[in-house]
Structure 1
């Protein structure tokens, strides 16, 4: 029988120790020479008396070894895999962990032995801290009430820009690349879930915003002008909330943001004045990077506070359910030839009453997040990128429009993304419907079943 909802929260610091830092590597093989701000693993537990659900966020770019972590959590705390969200805030300024298939310079297995050993030690440390954070959430659970709502936060921008490049003969051709495209509409929804205890004290927050967490990428804030570790905007907003609501734990997650960047950051792209070609600039002034981080995190925190001020009354329906589905669509090589191995995405639905949290094992482009929201029948739907994102090499989950624009395959992740065009959006929409249908009919998971196979089975019955 369903009982009153109970919730608990916990966190542990996962900032790398000094003896590891010199041997760890960040994205694009960067070396760290300092700590700008601490990294954390945070956990938020829900228990309705029948089911337990868990959300865990890591101040990393991706969750290390998610399959193993899920097994460990299920064995220790008896929470089934389908009820656990494991995600990262996707900071671009933290040590790389986990197995990185098709990620080139991020593949730790190809680095020197001392880097591999330091990374393995750091991963073990992260696992211990995760278990302690979840243990604290379990031990500290108490009667709770939930409320959630959303507002607007204008610190993000579409980052896919067309460059008009002039060759030596004066001919101009369009090339797709990174930059800013302020004319294109983007999702600016700032979602906030607030969990309060029986005495009006706040247990925790769950935040979601569609933006790459990369203001501090390649920052020069460490010693000798090299990068310093940082949890970026997401981590800063969590710290501000935790300070304002003493004893609470705040979790930040990225929405569908494969093509969305912060409006400013330490890495800048612009068209070359003479050729029009994409040009990259990395700022070497640490004060500029710190100012950008403070500016955007303070703005987002103010927007979060505005949402909190206008949150509706507490929700009556807090029943918990979870379900996992797998998308498998045709793949093709760089020449457009069919490949034997399909392109895979792990999809995940966690329901908290009328709220649907839909996680994807990669970086969904924003139009696909919008399509998922439209396909969902839930009262409120939130999209979460990087949910167990290293379980399969989904990488960037491009929309067809961008695949057609990026003729040179120059966008991040494009060379290692082998999805065939024309399949991903209908596959995501069908997976959303399949997840919600199975959730209410209590059917067994349809792991590995393609859209085509599902449709054929339904027609035959």
Structure 2
């Protein structure tokens, strides 16, 4: 009887063990890759005002990070373009990726770095009519090649996956940017795209009573009453390493318009300051480094031109590099992805509607929220405040191009972004906030 009881317990233990093994999740795997997408000279650039490109300051790249937990696989593509329109770029890339490596379309995120010194290859179908371009006026041969390369970089990263661990950290870099929508005492915005050197030399970083970070200046008497708005100084960093701690790749997000080169070298191809930042990380730490644009809709560099572009990039790369050294990583990570359609009204009379997309990738307790268009910092900070998520990346210019997305007050304050800069009717920012929060809630375990 005793021997039979012991044998029975042993068989039960074996059965439980086998059951546990059969349901356990595979170890996290990751792969990174990059491919050159620099267009041929002669192709018009976003800021060249119709003139052909005539030089290359730095090459343009597409970079990919692919992660798999054995049950789900997700891919993030960072591409040196102004936009990644849903119908023209993102969805064709997703279709090819699904065909080639089987990653579901909703699991592929395409982040444009928003360089203003890249190719002018978009119809701008969701922007104001005056901004739209006929398809026949676009170099479709380059577009087809580009889409193929974006799918290929995911394919290469997928092929090269290895066991991996991930972790995140957050730094800050408020010194290089400011909110270009300062207000008069009457609440009206005076759009200030650039500042003279004698003004930028007076830069001060301050924290408002509400906790927001602002960058302000000593202005001349006729502008002394201007009040500068908030920025998001966060540098969000993701580290991907192999089991021995060697870096496989990294992703970092920061909110500042990549307009350092434009318009000073309007016919030169450049990935702007993100190129220098990624180069710092890749050359120092190794692996492939991806950049995603943060909350930059109304945030621009304090100084511009080729020299300041390199300085901003090096400062950002150094901050990302600093944070990468101190990241605690883990491989016990469950992956998930969600996306939802978002319909927004336009300013047309009568109002029309455009449909775009919000996407979230969940990497364990890390959330990457992809928002379409140029998100004003006030809109993005509202999402961060209300989401209640510690490890949250909020990226703009992701998966689609819909122009500036403004909060309600911006429409009464005037300024470029809420007037000429957007085709969206008031309420767009609030709808985006609500949609983003709903999607984040839906993907939480």
TM-score by length of 1: 0.77
Q: What secondary structure, in the 3-state scheme, does the structure 2 residue paired with 1:76 have?
A: helix
Residue-by-residue CA offset, 1:176-208 (whole Å, 9 max, x unaligned): 323367343311001111100123221100010
> Which of these residues, 136, 143, 159, is aligned with residue 163 of structure 2?
143
Q: Tell me the residue number matched to 1:29.
A: 50
**1:172-321 paired onto structure 2 within 5 Å:** 176-179=190-193, 182=216, 183-220=228-265, 227-246=267-286, 248-265=287-304, 289-311=305-327, 313-315=328-330, 317-321=332-336
Question: Cα RMSD (Å) of the superposition?
Answer: 2.5
Task: Structure 1: give runs of 5+ residues left out of the alignment.
Answer: 165-171, 221-225, 266-288, 442-461
Residue 45 of structure 2 contacts residue 269 of structure 2 at CA under 8 Å; is this kept in 1? no
Residue by residue, what CA displacement relative to the aligned partner does 1:344-382 show, whole Å, maximum 9, x if unpaired?
Answer: 442111111111111111111101111111232433111
C-alpha distance in structure 1 between counterparts of 2:289 and 2:399, whole Å = 20
* Cα 1:48–1:425 shift into 2, 3 Å: same
Preserved contact between residue 181 and residue 189 of structure 2 (Cα < 8 Å): no
1:315 and 1:375 map into 2 onto residues whose CA distance is 27
1:383 shift after superposition: 0.7
Alignment equivalent of 1:403, drawn from 403, 411, 417: 411
Partners in 1 of 2:178 and 2:316 — Cα distance? 14
In structure 2, do the counterparts of structure 1 residues 190 and 416 end up closer, same or farther at CA, with 3 Å as the change threshold? closer
Q: Within the alignment, does 1:62 sit opposite 2:102 as a pair? A: no
Report the Cα distance in structure 2 between the residues aligned to 1:174 and 1:255, rounded to whole angstroms.
Answer: 25
Give the conservation status (yes or no) of the 8 Å contact 1:161–1:179. Answer: no
Tell me what 1:40 maps to: 61
Q: Distance in 2 between matches of 1:399 and 1:59?
A: 27
Could you say what secondary structure the match of 1:29 adopts?
coil
Give the distance between the partners of 2:406 and 2:188, measured in 1 at CA: 19
C-alpha separation in 1, matches of 2:362 and 2:424: 29
CA distance in 1, matches of 2:413, 2:74: 40
Counterpart-to-counterpart distance in 1, 2:290 and 2:276: 11
Asked which structure has the greater CA Rg, the reply is 2
Change in 2 beyond 3 A, CA 1:315/1:173: closer
Q: Distance in 1 between matches of 2:431 and 2:132?
A: 29
Structure 2 CA distance for aligned equivalents of residues 147 and 78 of structure 1: 26
